[in-house]
Amino acid sequence: MFSLEKGYFITFEGIDGCGKSTQANNLVRSLKNKGYETVFTREPGATVIGKEVRKLALSNQFDPCLECEVLLFQADRAEHVSKVIRPNLEEGKIVVCDRYFDSTLAYQRYGRNVNVDFLVQAHDFSTRSLYPDLTFLFDLDLEVAFERIGDRRDRMENEDLEFFERVRQGFLEIAKAYPQRVKVIDGSKNIEEIFREVCLSTYDCLS
């Protein structure tokens, strides 16, 4: 049940090109139209420091080592939670975030094989253990996702198919582990059909 004192934290997750940003934006518009105070944000890159981190983590210009990549995403999240997410939740708002900790688990744990206990500890340190209330996971065939992205590829998007297959399966494992929080959406359906599903689940949780 949505409490005005606590706010409500919704995240959108999935592989690149899965359609999550489109749906997150549409949901934010719908929530605002219905009178909910709602903030849209994303990772990485939603704060002044985060914008710099985003360049370092994703630009093809740099090639951070694995440990550096992990810590860059954590630094972005620490600043993001401290300056954007937590203050807005504390004001009782709905925060809709495009990517959060499940992306770390899917890309760095399942994709890059980083130790999960370390990732959870780093997340808890960075965020004082802030986890979403509701998560939408958009599942989509890799070929369809790549077709949607086209030729514009950042550093992460240049990884090979096996990497993205591990990431996709990782997201599905997370959904299996947290069925109450994570709603899996078939990303191959059309935009309107998916939006109806997203709205149904969201307004059900808020009521």
What is the C-alpha separation between 65 and 60, in angstroms, rounded? 13
Nearest to ligand Z5A of 37, 173 (CB atom): 173
- The yes or no reply on residue 43 touching ligand Z5A (CB under 6 A) is yes
How far apart are CB 33 and ligand Z5A at their closest, in Å?
A: 20
* Phi (first) and psi of residue 184, to 5 degrees: -90, 130
Residue 105 and residue 101: Cα distance in Å, rounded? 6
Which of the residues 93 through 112 are near ligand Z5A (CB under 6 A)?
Answer: 98-99, 103-104, 107-108
Burial tier of 167 (Cβ tally within 10 Å: 0-12, 13-18, 19+): buried
Closer CB to ligand Z5A, residue 8 or residue 146? 146
Among residues 90, 124, 109, 76, the alpha carbon closest in space to that of 177 is found at 109
Shorter beta-carbon distance to ligand Z5A: residue 37 or 55: 55
Report the residue from 20, 109, 166, 168 that binds ligand Z5A according to the rule CB under 6 A: 20
Residues with Cβ within 8 Å of residue 117, at least 6 apart in sequence? none
Q: Which of 37, 133, 157, 197 binds ligand Z5A (CB under 6 A)?
A: 157
Q: Which residues contact 192 (CB under 8 A, 6 or more apart)?
A: none
Nearer to ligand Z5A, 2 or 188 (CB): 188
Q: Which residues ranging from 158 to 187 are in contact with ligand Z5A (CB under 6 A)? A: none
Q: Using CB under 6 A, count the residues that bind ligand Z5A.
A: 24
Nearest to 8 by CA among 206, 207, 196, 181: 206
**CB nearer to ligand Z5A: pick between 18 and 95:** 18
- Of 37, 54, 36, give the one whose Cα is nearest residue 45: 54
Closest contact distance (angstroms) between CB of 30 and ligand Z5A is 16
- Residues at the interface with ligand Z5A (CB under 6 A): 16-22, 43-44, 58, 73, 98-99, 103-104, 107-108, 148, 154, 156-157, 190-191, 194
